[in-house]
Amino acid sequence: MEEKIGKITHYYSKLGVAAIELLHGKLHKGDKIHIHGHTTDLEQTVDSMELEHQQIVEAAEGQNIGVRVQDHVRENDDVYKPYI
C-alpha cells in the first residue's frame, strides 16, 4: 500500500531533478518513493534532496523541494511513499 504525499510541479531535464510539492506528511533522505503518472512509473530511493538550493535530509508538508530522479518524470505526476 502507498500514500500519496505530493506531486511533480516541474522537471529539470539537464539536471535530472524533479520539483515536488509535498502535500501530506514528511519525506526523508533514504525514503523510497514511487512516481506515477500517465506515462511514468518510477520507483527509487531519495538520495539527494534540496530546498532553495541547500541540501536537506527532511522535508515537511507544504514545502517545494528538488529531488534527483533516475528517469524522466512529468508535471502533475503523483508522488507516493509506501506505508511502513
The length of the chain is 84
49-67 tens-digit pLDDT: 999 999 999 999 999 999 9
Taking CA atoms, 44 is separated from 36, 52, in Å, by 12, 22
In sequence order, the β-bridge partners of residue 5 are none
Q: What are phi and psi of 23, to 5 degrees?
A: -100, -30
Q: What are phi and psi of 22, to 5 degrees?
A: -80, 120
Q: What is the pTM of this model?
A: 0.95
Distance in angstroms (rounded) separating the CA atoms of residues 69 and 8: 11
14-40 tens-digit pLDDT: 999 999 999 999 999 999 999 999 999
Q: How far is CA 8 from the centre of its chain?
A: 7
